Chain A
Amino acid sequence: MTDSQEQNPMKPYLGKLVAVKDLATEIKLFRVELMNGGSEAFSAYQPGQFAFVSAFGFGEAPFGIANTPQRGPCVDFAVNRLGSVTTGLHELGEGDIVGVRGPLGNCFPMDQFKGKNLIVLGGGIGGAPLRPVIQTVLDHRADYGRLTILWAARLPSLLVFTDEYDEWRAAPDTSLHLTVDQADEKWDHNVGLITQLLEKVTPSSENAVTITCGPPIMIYYVTRMLAQMGFALKDNYVTLEARMHCGLGKCGRCNLGTKLICVDGPVFNMAQVGELMETFL
């Protein structure tokens, strides 16, 4: 049997960890160099897509791809240590081999966003799939309007990609607003929930789209507030999560009503989510 993924979608590509960095407490960044045909499969992935990363012997789990191919050639994943697979991954270091299956799912319609103002809201580890959105805007700055980033976490030690904030702030017509639920002595930015930050920043809804990712309860309250602020549901984009096992639309676990999050999503706009019948909460 050759290693072609065309023939067996359940068989992962092998990837070597070229870097493992601490991003935050119990959150690590894994930079993977795809091997044996995998680099071809991962040459053109889009922001919003995800992949299954295998810690062989423990299992595999889905993670949002946290960078763009332009910032490649390696693929970035941000992994929060919570269960057995993520614990297995956290035990690995540079040079170790993981498995990668993908890229899977749909993507943010970056082409449709061109010329618009983007408001990006990231809560905790939910910021990871939003990073490629930010990178795309930064790398094609003239194609997009104003970029407003609202970045939140429960604690300062749980904020992700802190060493990139300067790059984001430095970009033209781009602002970064940080908030934490609970501050420490060194914290000198906002304190409070992301909804409170949103109230403070009050971005204009004119010619704007929002992109939100975080815990389901955060998505719920943020999109409710955005509606009150005059944003149309169809202009609010989210990436949803549900437990996935195959990522291919076969195992049936990730459905919300008639939609499968792995193939019809994970990116939806809130007008679509409203038609789902089943709640994403």
Chain B
Amino acid sequence: MAFEPRIIAYLCTWCSYTGADTAGIARLKSPANIRDIRVPCSGRVSPELVMRTFDQGADGVLILGCHIGECHYETGNHRAAKRLPILRALMGYAGLEPERLRLDWVSASEGERFSRIATEFVDTVRALGPVRWRVPGDEIPALTQQFAAICGDVPLGEYDCAAKTDAIRAKAKELLTSGAVGYVVGYEVGPRGRTRPSFANTPEEADKLVWNPDCTYNLTTYLGKKRRPAVKGIEQPKPVAVVVKPCDSRAINVLLTENQFPREQVYIIGVTCEGTRHDHGALQVRCQTCNDRVPIVYDTLIGEPPAPVPEHPTPVALKIAELEKETPAERMEFWLSQFDRCIRCYACRQACPMCNCPVCLYERDDSLWIGMGVNMNEKRAFHLGRAYHMAGRCIGCNECERACPMNIPISLLNMKMAQEIEAAFGHRAGMEPVPSPVVTILSGEYKEG
């Protein structure tokens, strides 16, 4: 029997669903392959819903909304117009042919248009053949691709840190002695000789703070409510001070636009940066081409701006370009082989300054988006979903990849999303206190009463 694709169509109730009705009443031929699901607005069709539709086995997903300018909710279809192409790029990158996901506009009276688009779409998907996306049942795909962690091999030697260390200690002492802050988050060297995050609660403790090439951690992760230690013994919450590198400072801008904390609750000790080291001494990949060597936002600045580095592509960018040239099937196998060893520990999410949902969508007990098992479809849904949620918000600190016990190259997802957002909107996360273009911010008029 010839292959007939199964298509799910999300039709907005005001325009496109009525448009489909109009096509039916006019007896226009529309393919029977499509199962319609009526939604209030095309903007309501969330990426997780689309991903789940493909995870359940749909060969194609069609989303139809009102024409731009005619949305019943004014800007709902704008949301769809911004978000769904980014999702298509992400899923394409993960191995789904982009032609299987289509967003278009049909008004209530355009029966012919509906019929034409529906037929076109079914023809396209039929030509592509049965979808290869869902990993069936208990199948463990035979995976052959191995891809070792991206670390590059540019060595980073020691550089003079004594001046910066002294300056950080002095500033911390000053802030703690005056009582301006409850504690200072910086770096220290532990008894095993490893540099690690440090919390100085008193002026004496400020002496343990250091600056060295291993200060790779993003300390802004401690500013969100979930991971922020309480300020001890003080009734009124006091501000906290945090030592930030230039990349970290971008996180502060993102967190401010998302109202994670008021600006006056954080005292930013900005430090210029010559680059930081990976565990085995090589320069971090993100530092190889970084020319943002001075923090974007700070209350005090320590250090002189270092010399700029020549532009050249990083191993991450090169790998993304390589993946983009492969076929969808090759890309799918690459990504499945990476997600295969994921254990859903969520270390990536916990290490990320931007992941602050009180209960993560992928861990909710009543979640209908994703199951809780450690199996391929679920793991991929989590990683792609999180990458999508980070679109336009991720500042590329790579803490997620560093924290992953399984060396999953998460930066390949995050940087791809950053490239898509920059190409589509000219936006780079955190360079200014401006929200991500794909995040919906309710305007002041809609404040809770």
Contacts and interface: CB of A to CB of B under 8 A. Distances in A.
Interface of A: 83-84
B432 interface: no
A83 B365 CA distance: 8
A82 to B, nearest CB: 10
B140 to A, nearest CB: 24
Interface of B: 365-366
B362 to A, nearest CB: 16
Nearest to A84: B366
B358 to A, nearest CB: 16
A281 B366 CA distance: 24
4 contacts: A83-B365, A83-B366, A84-B365, A84-B366
Contacts of A83: 365-366
Nearest to B368: A84
A83 B364 CA distance: 11
Contacts of B366: 83-84
A94 B289 CA distance: 68
Nearest to A58: B366
A83 B359 CA distance: 14
A35 B365 CA distance: 29
A83 B366 CA distance: 7
B369 to A, nearest CB: 13
Nearest to A59: B365
A241 B371 CA distance: 26
B367 to A, nearest CB: 9
A266 B366 CA distance: 26
Nearest to B364: A84
Contacts of B365: 83-84
A84 B365 CA distance: 8
B217 to A, nearest CB: 30
A253 to B, nearest CB: 13
A161 B365 CA distance: 30
A84 B372 CA distance: 14
A62 to B, nearest CB: 14
A84 B364 CA distance: 10
A84 B366 CA distance: 6
B359 to A, nearest CB: 12
A268 B165 CA distance: 55
A52 to B, nearest CB: 15
A60 to B, nearest CB: 12
B353 to A, nearest CB: 29
Contacts of A84: 365-366
A54 to B, nearest CB: 15
A10 B111 CA distance: 55
